Amino acid sequence: MAKGGFPGGFNMNNMIKQAQQMQEQMKKMQEELENKTVEESAGGGAVKVVANGRKELISIKIDPAVVDKDDVEMLEDLVLAAVNQALRSAERMIAEEMGKITGGFNIPGLF
């Protein structure tokens, strides 16, 4: 067996240290993502949604001009579209930040 590790140069201690460093970086990144936001809109800006890096909605703004009691369905569609887009954007933001830590390597179950 190779000194300090396994045959072929594999060193368990180095792997554990790297995993611990990655875990610390991920914890820091999660804290930073809580403060980062994305904003998306639908209907040409009639509905605006802000979400954070924890995939939580922070705010929803609706232009009063699109509030029509006879067409609530359209407003509901606009809200859904803006919310879904904001959540997708938050997911992309998280993936980009994770890529900085993992070097683009996808680790299932992290987020």
DSSP codes of every residue in 8-31: GG--HHHHHHHHHHHHHHHHHHHH
Which residues in 48-61 are b (16+ Cβ under 10 Å) and which e? bbbbbbebeeeeee
Segment 15-52, tens digit of pLDDT: 888 888 888 888 888 888 889 999 999 999 999 999 99
Q: Which residue is associated with the tokens 């201690």?
A: 13
Task: Tell me the two tokens of residue 77.
Answer: 């569609």
Highest-scoring range by mean pLDDT, 4-13, 22-31, 51-60: 51-60
Q: How far apart are CA 34 and CA 102, in angstroms?
A: 19
Is the pLDDT at 57 greater than 90? The verdict is yes
Domains of the chain in start order, with CATH, are 11-102 (3.30.1310.10)
pTM for the predicted model, two decimal places: 0.71
Backbone angles phi, psi at 38, to 5 degrees: -125, 145
Task: Tell me the two tokens of residue 42.
Answer: 């639908």
